[in-house]
Amino acid sequence: MSINKDTVKYTAALGRIELSEKEIEHFTGQLDKILDYVHKLKKVDVSKLAPTSHVLEMKNVYRDDKVKPSLPVDEVMKNAPARERNLFKVGKIIE
């Protein structure tokens, strides 16, 4: 067993996803099977390998530090589920 229900619950909480008991049950079995499959990577000797996080051989990409026109605030806010003045409105953060 590579993953159990508690780990799925914990990881879903890290990812801020609410799951039903049924979903937890269902996903645990499926994810366990997937992790069993990826364990084939254990066969590879990785001790001398550098990781590839990106394929392009580029380092830092700089641009001039100049102010350019940006999107109007109203355009940016128009998809907001709730808005107050120029702010995204959400529920209570501090109890």
Partner 1 sequence: MELNRLSAHELMGLLDKGDISHVDICNSIIDSIDKKDKSLNAIVNFDKGKVLERANAQKGLPVFIKDNICVKDELTTCSSNILKGFRPPYNATVIEKLLNRNAILMGKTNMDEFAFGSSTETSCYGTTKNPWDLERIPGGSSGGSAACVAADEAIWALGSDTGGSVRQPAGLCGVVGLKPTYGRVSRYGLIAFASSLDQIGTLTKDTEDAAILLKIISGHDPMDSTSVDRPVPDYAKLIKKDIKGLKLGIPKEYFIEGMDKEVKQSVLDAIKKLESLGAACENISLPHTEYAVAVYYLVATAEASSNLARFDGVQYGLRSSQAKGVIDMHKKTRGEGFGDEAKRRIILGAFALSSGYYDAYYLRALKVRTLIKKDFEDAFKKYDAIITPTSPTPAFKIGEKTEDPLTMYLCDIFTISANLAGIPGVSMPCGFTKSNLPVGLQILGKAFDEETILRIAYNYEQGTEWSKRKPGI
- Give the binding site for partner 1 (CB under 8 A): 3, 7-8, 11-19, 23, 27, 30-31, 33-35, 37-38, 40-42, 44, 46, 49-56, 58, 61, 63, 71, 75-76, 78-82, 88, 90-93, 95
Nearest approach, Cβ of residue 56 and partner 1 (Å): 5
Which residue lies nearer to partner 1 by CB, 85 or 92? Answer: 92
How many beta carbons lie within 10 A of that of residue 59, not counting itself?
Answer: 6
Residue 65 CB, nearest approach to partner 1 (Å): 14
R_g over Cα of the chain: 22
Q: Between 38 and 67, whose beta carbon lies closer to partner 1?
A: 38
Give the shortest CB-49-to-partner 1 separation in angstroms: 4
